[in-house]
Amino acid sequence: MVILTGPPASGKTTAAELIAGSAGKSTVHVTTDQFFRAIRSGFIPPHMPEAQAQNETVVDAIVAAVAVYAQGGFDVIVDGIVGPWFLAPYRAAAARTGLVLSYIVLRPALGTALQRAQVRTGPDLKDPDVITGLHDAFADLGDLERHVIDNTDLDASGTAEVVRQAIASGRYRLS
């Protein structure tokens, strides 16, 4: 199981799509946004403080789905905003199932993330204040700082290649 995370517009989804689509074995790309978008009524934007209970439920649903895919023999790439504050359920699932868990944080410069966000289409987050706040949340990861990849100067294929190398290296493993 690989968690590919970082602030909005850091390139998570595009990199995960490229990696999963060209993998040498069966690979599932789980986008956490899909789980949030499945809430059709009563949805609270996940960055809001009052969304905590909702977010915990959604994370539990994601972890359950990811674990089932992984136990079924699939490699799994989870792409979404998974800060250290939500790692415990993933770690518990990895420990419970004996699966390897890797954690990779894409963290471009804030200006780069804001520029990328402005060209987004569809329901993706574009609000500069929210993006800035979430970028700040990934600014100092303490012991997890070694899991950061600065992809400020990388395009999508370059980011995907660096992430592939990171996965293969084993240096980004949590379990």
Q: Where are the domains of the chain?
A: 2-169
The answer to whether residue 149 scores a pLDDT higher than 60 is: yes
Is it the case that residue 123 has pLDDT exceeding 60?
no
Q: How far apart are CA 92 and CA 83, in angstroms?
A: 15
Q: pLDDT-derived band of residue 119, with 50, 70 and 90 as boundaries? A: confident
Topology (CATH level 3) of domain 2-169: Rossmann fold (3.40.50)
Backbone angles phi, psi at 149, to 5 degrees: -120, 120
Mean predicted confidence (pLDDT) in 107-112: 96
pLDDT at 168 (0 to 100): 96
DSSP state of 173: B
Q: Are 11 and 106 in contact (CB under 8 A)?
A: yes
Q: What pLDDT is recorded for position 126?
A: 75
Look over the chain and give the mean of its residue pLDDT values, rounded to a whole number: 94
Is there a contact between 27 and 79 (Cβ–Cβ < 8 Å)? no
Residue 114: which residues within 8 A CB-CB, separation 6 or more?
9, 128, 131, 132
